[in-house]
Chains A and B, each alone.
Chain A
Amino acid sequence: MAQTTKVFGQSVLRKEDDRFLTGRGNFVADMLPPGTVFAKFVRSPYAHARIRSINTAKARRLPGVLDVLTSQDMKDQVGDIITAWAIPNANLKTPAYPPLAREVVRYAGEAVAVVVAESPFIAENARDLVEVEYDPLPVVTDVETATKPGRAPLHGDAPDNVAFKWILAGGDVDKVFQEADVVVSQRFVNQRLQPTAMEPRAAIAQFEPGTRELTLHVTSQNPFVHRLVLSIVLKYPEHLIHVIAPDVGGGFGSKIPVYPWEAIVCHLAMRLGRPVKWVEDRMENYVATTHGRDHVQYVDLAAKKDGTILGIRARVLANMGAYLSTAAPGIPTILFGFMVGGCYAIQAGRVEVTGVFTNTTPVDAYRGAGRPEALFLLERMVDILARKLKKDPADIRRKNFIPADKFPYPTAMGLTYDSGNYPGTLEKALDKVGYEKLRKEQAEGRRKGKLMGIGLSTYVEICGLGPSAVVTSTGFAGGLWGASTVRLHPTGKATVYTGGHPHGQGEETTFAQIVGEELGIPVADIEVVHGDTKLTPYGQGTYGSRTTPVEGGSIALSARKVRDKARKIAAHLLEAREEDLEFADGKFVVKGSPKAAKTIQEIAWAAYMAGNMPKGVEPVLDATTFYDPTNFVFPFGCHICVVDVDRETGQVKIRRYVAVDDVGNQINPMIVEGQVHGGVLQGLAQAMLEQSVYDENGNLLTNSLIEYLVPTALEAPRIETDSTVTPSPHNPLGVKGVGETGTIASSQAYVNAVCDAVGVDHIDMPVTAEKVWRVLHPK
């Protein structure tokens, strides 16, 4: 389409920023409807215990307390929480996940009662007056102990604590391992993490007795998923539930799940006839909001002497926590197993994942969700192989890359990578970091006892979730198409209604850019609406780096439908044939007659007045599209981390961090860079600092920001970014996702660098100074 209005590809400043910068964001906790009462949850201090009794009498007597409920009190109104990803052929066990504990608590922090009072203070005081007697049961928090024979199970219907066993195999694995010259093996612990969105979760439920409508404002990445699941859990009609996720202060996957307390708050609002508000504090967040990762992995890599990688095997124990959260079974399986071949032309692979119940907070998606766990193990194994064969880690990658001319590429694990140029990002990153020079410096430095390391991570990830036929075949209870309406108003201003739910990713701006580009309307004249089940078409929300490729793709298609209709109207008004019109700068112009023109705004006006429409064309200028992509998208890139290690203290300092990513066409390079920065730091945080720690009694020791070490500006390195552009061939915009790339790429870049510096096969994350020191100072 000939067009000179270029807003696609420009670093347009964000439309959403002004409200946040002036303190006028609209977060759930900021809202206070008249008559609001406050809920607080009584949470178990025991990780595993039988509840002998719950006495709520004292709490009820406290003035200002309206209600104190236990599981027994709501058993007919609030059903069990459901798991939405029933992975097939895995003997999946889904034990009851009660909204409040019944008889047994299975992790420290599980809710056993809820208190509602006129003020948050009274509710907290009353919470402390609820008397619960527990009989402690044996506790298990780690997967290897939990699966030992004879362990007492958490759930009667999973007697061996196994939630599922999932196997994926491609190619002839046994053959390639038999034929291999060399096999390297390593055990990895991909430790548990706490997502730590800066906004804790919150919910406000309101019930309108006249219309019987239930309205929930909630910190959600996917309000329609919340509406659907709540309608099932509450046994309440979906069309009478209105879910609004206003501004959400970060999610990183932890605001995908539907949590018991959200359903309970809804029940309380219906029961009491008053708005009920619940806001978690950070300590509650750390026990009651899902965690991420937590794998123990045993990996073997088979190769030829020349460095050709033949096959990979991974046997994984994935900690699911005490219950299966909304998307939990799919994370360590579907989103993990298919990616263990990464960027390489590996002939065969086999992944065996055992999901394990333990007395810990449930685990679900956390930024990257399965893919960091896959790419970490692969990229570490490639470095271990390079070390074994005494080859340069860059050379061994070059040797094994899927060649750029082989796309679309069917992998041994069963996916079709859409497009890629892996050598392109590797060479660009090597150039940028000055690889040869650094290697020389490293060799010279070693002679003087200096420890410098260079860590490469060449990654590819699967995102843009996803084609509905594929995701539903994996047991996911929901199509993952994109939904949009692009609506022009009589004055030519536009509103875009999206099924995505941006919460920091900037799509209020990038989606306006898409429509601005397609229709020639100024970005300032376009508003993007999201997060309200009464306003937008049914939408799947924001996760899995799907929003721009899938929801954005839908928006492009809606805008093009609007343009096609506008063309018909313009041709009619200009008394010209459609094919004689050119569209540029928001105007249809008759070829060769520049004065014969209609702007998109004039056409919008005409379409609403509708007194002079072409035959058979409906009034109004809007269009709706439900776009189901034909494939996932596969962004890729190369990250390089350079570290200096202090031999005496084991301290690691990042000297350089270079990220060269290919996320296809970029709508807004400023926002792309921001996503890379943030993603990289979250991956580095796992590599350097973060780790959930439980004691032997199942208490979460990292239960506040004192113990759980989220990086501050002092730990964060400068990140040098660059990119190549290999468009996705199959979506309307040629874009790929970028929200998770940095996290998927960075942990192993850091660990590879440290291992390279100190000359060791592996150090488990977080790579603390102590661990490094112990490698350097063996007993």
Chain B
Amino acid sequence: MATKRKKASPKRKRIRTENGTHTITVAVNGRTFTRAVEPRVLLVDFIRDELRLTGTHIGCDTSHCGACTVLVDGHAVKSCTMLAVQADGRKITTIEGLSEHGRLHPIQEAFKAHHGLQCGFCTPGVVLAALELLQVENAPSEDRIRTAISGNICRCTGYSSIVDSVAAAGEMMRPGKG
């Protein structure tokens, strides 16, 4: 996990209200949202049900499948392992935040070019887990890639095409490319 966190953009101001909810402010994909949430609500449910960003998926209840992976302050986090209140003041990137102006992010392009997805259910989580790796290392070895996505289960692809997609994305994201 992060040792240092960049100063989060929205101000942290968790307020307990009378009906037991907390008011939190999070920046999701560059937009700031302030919402009252029950303390038991998981971040993944907040993202899906409250913000209606349904690209973040739920595939298990034990934090094993990784379908709910998002970036929290740049780090890949399974959003079922965090409460929404813990995200107060944080910057979150979901799969919906990757493409800009209708243009796919290089990692999205690479997954398409290398058939890194089939049913598409695990894909958002896999992409974001891999993106965390590529942000710090743009020419990772196959072992590094496999380790980085080992918390994400894909039942369709057999993983090799995902590994190839991530490697290709790294190449596309290298300075001076793409």
- When the two chains form their complex, are residues A22 and B55 in contact, meaning their CB atoms are under 8 A apart? yes
Is B155 a contact partner of A670 (Cβ separation < 8 A)? no
Interface size on A, residues (CB 8 A): 54
Stretch among A376-384, A503-511, A560-568, A724-732 lining the B interface:
A503-511
Q: Determine if B160 and A16 form an interchain contact, defined as CB atoms under 8 angstroms apart.
A: no
Min C-beta distance of A611 to chain B, whole Å = 39
Task: Check A22 against B108 for contact (C-beta < 8 Å).
Answer: yes
The stretch among B9-17, B59-67, B71-79 that forms the contact with chain A is B59-67
A200 at the interface (CB under 8 A from B): yes
Q: Is the interface of B mostly helix, strand, loop or mixed?
A: loop
Judge whether A14 is part of the interface by a CB distance below 8 angstroms. Answer: yes
Bound CA–CA A505/B149 (angstroms): 22
Q: Is the interface of A mostly helix, strand, loop or mixed?
A: loop
Which parts of A42-57 form the interface with B (CB within 8 Å)? none
Interface flags for A249-283 (1: CB within 8 Å of B; 0: not) read: 11010000000000000000000000000000111
B64 to chain A, nearest CB (A): 4
Q: Is the CB of B111 within 8 A of A706?
A: no
- Chain B residues with CB below 8 A from A504, complex form: 118-120, 156
- Shortest Cβ gap from A310 to chain B (Å): 37
- Segment among A133-141, A331-339, A714-722 that sits at the interface with chain B: A714-722
* Cross-chain contact B104 with A199 (CB below 8 angstroms): no
- CB neighbours (8 Å) of B147 from chain A are 713-714
Q: Which residues from chain B contact A503 at a C-beta distance below 8 Å?
A: 119
Q: Which residues A470-529 have CB closer than 8 A to chain B?
A: 503-506
Given the complex of chains A and B, what is the CA–CA distance between A718 and B120 in angstroms? Answer: 21
A575 at the interface (CB under 8 A from B): no
A199 & B59 in contact (Cβ 8 Å cutoff): yes
Q: Is B127 an interface residue (CB 8 A)?
A: yes
> Which chain A residue shows the least CB distance to B104?
A21
- How far in angstroms is the closest Cβ of chain B from A511? 16
Alpha-carbon distance between A199 and B60 when the two chains are bound, in angstroms = 9
Bound form: Cα–Cα A674–B62 in Å: 28
Q: Kindly state the separation between the CA atoms of A670 and B60 in the bound complex, as whole angstroms.
A: 30
* Of the residues B55, B149, B155, B159, contact of A23 by C-beta under 8 Å: B55
Instruction: Tell me, yes or no, whether A191 is within 8 Å of chain B by CB.
Output: no
Selected interface stretch from B19-27, B81-89, B91-99: B91-99
In the complex, what's the smallest C-beta–C-beta distance from A275 to chain B, in angstroms?
15
Q: Indicate if the CB atoms of B158 and A281 lie closer than 8 Å.
A: no
> In the bound complex, how far is the Cα of B64 from the Cα of A678, in angstroms?
19
- Do A197 and B155 touch across chains, with their CB atoms under 8 A apart? yes
Known A-B contacts A22-B96, A32-B49, A710-B153; the reply to A249 vs B104 at CB < 8 A is no
In the complex, whether A680 has a CB less than 8 A from a CB of chain B is: yes
Assess whether B111 is in contact with A674, with CB atoms less than 8 Å apart.
Answer: no
- Looking at A13, A32, A198, A250, the one whose CB has the most chain B CB atoms below 10 A away is A198
B156 touches A713 (CB 8 A): no
Scan A336-368; emit 1 where CB is below 8 A from any B CB, else 0: 000000000000000000000000000000000
Is A25 part of the binding interface, using a Cβ–Cβ cutoff of 8 Å? Answer: yes
Chain B positions within 8 Å of A680 at CB level: 158
A282 with B157, Cβ < 8 A, contacts A16-B120, A21-B111, A198-B122 known: no
Q: Cβ of A24 < 8 Å from any Cβ of B?
A: yes
**Cross-chain contact of B121 among A22, A25, A671, A682 (Cβ < 8 A):** A25
Interface residues of B in 126-168 (CB under 8 A from A): 127, 145-147, 149-163
Q: 12 pairs across A/B with beta carbons < 8 Å?
A: A20-B117, A22-B55, A30-B48, A199-B119, A252-B155, A504-B118, A674-B157, A677-B157, A713-B150, A713-B152, A713-B162, A716-B159
